[in-house]
Amino acid sequence: MGETTRRSTERAALRFSRRAGLRAAGAGLLTLAGARVLPARAQQPRSNGIAVYPAHNTRTASPGTEISFRGVSASQLGPLSVVGSRSGGHSGIVVPHADGNGASFLPDARFEPGEAVTVSAALPLRRSTGGAIRFSVATPAPLVSAPPHRETEAPEREPQAFRSRPDLRPPVIDVTTPPEETAPGQVFLAPKIEGGQSGAMILDERGELVWFAAPAADVNQCNDFRVQTYLGQPVLTWWEGASPVGHGYGHFVIANSAYERIAELRAGNGFPGGDLHEFLITPQGTALILIYHPVRWNLTPFGGPIDGAVMDGIVQEIDIATGRVLFEWHSLDHIDLDEAGGKRPDDPDRPWDYVHLNAIELDGDHLVVSARNSHAIYRIDRVSGRVVWRLGGKRNDFAMAEGASFAYQHDARVHPNGELTLFDNAETDLKAGGHSRGLVLRLDEERMTAALVREYVHPTKVLSISQGNVQVLPNGNVFVGWGSSPVFSEFGPDGELRFNGRLPAGAMSYRAYRAPWVGRPSAPPDIAAEAGAGGSVTIYASWNGATEVAHWRVLAGPEPAGLGFVRSAPPRPALRRRRTPPRTPARSPSRTPRAGLGFVRSARRAPDPPAPASAPPRSPR
């Protein structure tokens, strides 16, 4: 992805002349300039088979928006007309989508805030006279500022430290309930710690570090770190960016098994950044993301100003290969402000985050979207954007059985057996009492009822006032990340606690996951040597992310060409800073001079099968 991909794609684009458009007697007709187009794999669409985004009657399109057409090829669209009520006719290029079932118009100039845009093509775009679609462009409100810097040197609890990697200072993880009958795989966290080093983290069953990566220098946080599948291969994915309270502006990362970044995805259509809450890769090689976009809005019905600020919650589906937007949905077009569970802010310049979207889930031809601040889960038609039903909230379409109600929820997921899981935060005030829980509900869409199937409650009655997730594992266990509480747990099918870990007090991880993972770093191991008494030398070795190291071999000698075997040692737990002397992974004989120690080899396990989750080799050390 990047400039090279975009330029090669644009060579296959249709070019529309601005001059021809502006001379079209006010009609804004944009004529073809004759260019090669990739052959479409889709059949000739019917007049009502084309989906356009921003959709007809969208009220909050970005001034930098592109216009996406699905269910039609670039050549089938024919001449386009794109006219702003203030900016006039727009020229641009039409770029085909990677799957051959759509195309995007990339305008040469931005639209003006507050104007209406009319789009028409050779084919009718909707069932109406002329078949044109119309949308309005939002007037953006100021973005909420993110923390200007980050301090990583003074956490309340001393972090882990590594002689071979002094740049890594991740928080210490404590396993308080040892694993018993847990699902295979490692644990994936993205800890955020006040005064310490945040980042993406992989742990083994004992809470020992397997891999850690701090955010890049220009961002302050990672979120939603997990294993997904892209192009048939397991990959690591996460969000990184700047995070004001409750949401974020950043980009999305995909890394391969060597921990190399193979893609960085950004929000489409000119929005300032993608939000931290969701990055879901679909089987089609696209990504579903969320965007928080503050816009000016009439708040007089709610006692506010006519030009108040509201947070529009946006769902985008983006083609990862090209960055084109394939679907876009706006909360302000489909969810009214009176569905909000709380009052608008007193500060007129602070955007009213009335829904707070935090999860997207595929559900056939629909999407299931969770909105924390309206206490509701919405099933959305992927073509029209229409809300099919609401679960919870002020306009709940379901009769809730005892124990099925929830509040401030996160991570709504549908499952093949018809069940729906979610994380029920329950409260937003630690002083309110109560506790959070993982919920499994069964929805009857004929009778419109919701029944409680199971709940997962921590033995200590953990209350998480924000964040959290529930992951159903292949063996029937359930993994729960407790969000703002520094806890992650695995439960058996009947709710018994089978594993529990803790971050330092005050730390948190937006979500927590378990998944099998085989990491083979492309970078070599890191080595450090320390001289001891009597000419002895202690060697410290780490290989950040390697999951198949069986043991280390130390070679020594007077010169590189004459090295001989000295000793081997299995990987040992991470060397943390303690007042007592740390353990040493491999010590050379006292007669061996320090200058002669220059090489450490690692012996890898056979790649098939992966190391068992109950006792994987630990690295880095």
- pLDDT, tens only, 271-317: 999 999 999 999 999 999 999 999 999 999 999 999 999 999 999 99
Predicted local distance difference test score (pLDDT) of residue 480: 98
Q: What is the pLDDT, as a whole number, of residue 130? A: 79
- Which pLDDT score is estimated for 13? 57
Lowest average pLDDT, out of 95-99, 143-147, 207-211, 283-287, goes to: 143-147
In this prediction, residue 243 has a pLDDT band, given cuts at 50, 70 and 90, of confident
Helix (H, G, I), strand (E, B) or coil at 214: coil
pLDDT tier, 601 (very low <50, low <70, confident <90, very high otherwise): low
| Mean local confidence (pLDDT), 385-410 | 98
pLDDT tens, 495-530?
999 999 999 999 999 999 999 999 999 999 999 999
Rounded Cα distance, 596 and 484, in Å: 50
Looking at residue 597, what is its pLDDT?
39
| pLDDT of 574 | 46
Instruction: Give the pLDDT band (50/70/90) at residue 336.
Output: very high
Res 37 pLDDT > 70: no
Question: Closest Cα partner for 63 from 117, 143, 137, 142?
Answer: 137
Pair of tokens at residue 370: 């969770």
How far is 218 from 242, CA to CA, in rounded Å?
8
- The pLDDT, as a whole number, for residue 150 is 65
Which pLDDT value is given to residue 29? 34
Residue 18, pLDDT > 90, answer no
Percent of the chain with pLDDT over 90: 72
pLDDT level of residue 48 (50, 70, 90 thresholds): low
For the stretch 541-578, pLDDT in tens is 999 999 999 999 999 888 989 999 999 988 865 444 33
Write out pLDDT tens, residues 146-179: 766 666 778 889 999 999 999 999 999 999 999 9
- What does the pLDDT read at residue 153? 73
Is pLDDT at 370 greater than 60 in this prediction?
yes
Q: Strands (DSSP E) along 386-448, which ranges?
A: 387-392, 399-400, 410-414, 419-424, 437-444
Predicted confidence at residue 323, as pLDDT, reads: 95
Residue matched to tokens 């009335």: 354
Classify residue 354 by its DSSP letter.
S
Whether the per-residue pLDDT at 591 is higher than 90: the answer is no
Is the model's pLDDT at 30 over the cut of 50? no
Is residue 278 within 8 Å of 290, Cβ to Cβ? Answer: yes
Q: What average pLDDT does range 468-494 have in this prediction?
A: 97
Task: Match 């999951």 to its residue by tokens.
Answer: 547
Phi-psi region of 584 (alpha: psi -120 to 50; beta: other; left: phi over 0): beta
Out of 64-78, 97-111, 205-219, 472-486, pick the least confident.
205-219
pLDDT of residue 148: 61
Q: How many CA atoms lie within 13 A of 209 on its CB side?
A: 28
State residue 602's pLDDT score: 58
Q: Which of 68, 197, 47 is nearest to 125 (CA)?
A: 47
384-402 average pLDDT score: 97
Task: Calculate mean pLDDT across residues 76-104.
Answer: 95
Which amino acid is it at 90?
A: H
Q: Give the residue-averaged pLDDT of 5-18.
A: 47
The reported pTM is: 0.87
